[in-house]
Structure 1
Amino acid sequence: MPQSEAKLQSEILKAHKDNDYSRLCELYAKAAQTRSDVNQACFLATQAYVFGLQSNHPLTEHLHSFLKNHGREE
């Protein structure tokens, strides 16, 4: 596993432990951007979207559009 991916996973785990939904939205969105497989990217973007909705994060609108463009959201 590349160093940056390991660091990202570590940050995600810490944000889960801290119940930091805003940070989780950002981290999952970042993880989604690193994936070349559209299914993996959409899975991670969905996680980001859910945490974005919970924290009223400004990325929520962009994530919703991304998911709509890939047939994952209405």
Structure 2
Amino acid sequence: MAERDAALDALILKAHARDDRAALVTLYAQAADLAETVDRECFFLTYAYIFALELGHASQAGLRARLVAYGRE
């Protein structure tokens, strides 16, 4: 698990360095999917949602729905 987290963290950092916001939507959503707690999941969902909103990304409605389901909108 730690190796997977470290690999995903590295990909997120690289995407930030490239300002690749489309990749950040995907990577943060993946991190949310792998989160072990609701708080951690919502943390990553929030970042995925913010980048999705900035881009008009197709996943924004689904990301918002997940946050709403947790009362985190």
Interval containing the TM-score (normalised by the shorter chain): over 0.9
- Report the aligned-residue RMSD: 1.1
Q: Which one-letter code corresponds to 2:28 in the other structure? A: Y
- 1:1-74 maps to which residues of 2 (within 5 A)? 2-73=2-73
> Distance between the aligned counterparts of 1:9 and 1:55, measured in 2?
22
Residue segments in structure 2 that go unaligned for 5+ positions in a row: none
Compute the TM-score of the two structures, normalised by the length of structure 1.
Answer: 0.92
Q: Which structure has greater helix proportion?
A: 2
Of 50-59 and 9-18, deviating more is: 50-59
Compute the TM-score of the two structures, normalised by the length of structure 2.
Answer: 0.93
Q: Which one-letter code corresponds to 1:10 in the other structure? A: A
Secondary structure of the residue that 2:36 maps to in structure 1?
coil
> Distance between the aligned counterparts of 1:49 and 1:39, measured in 2?
15
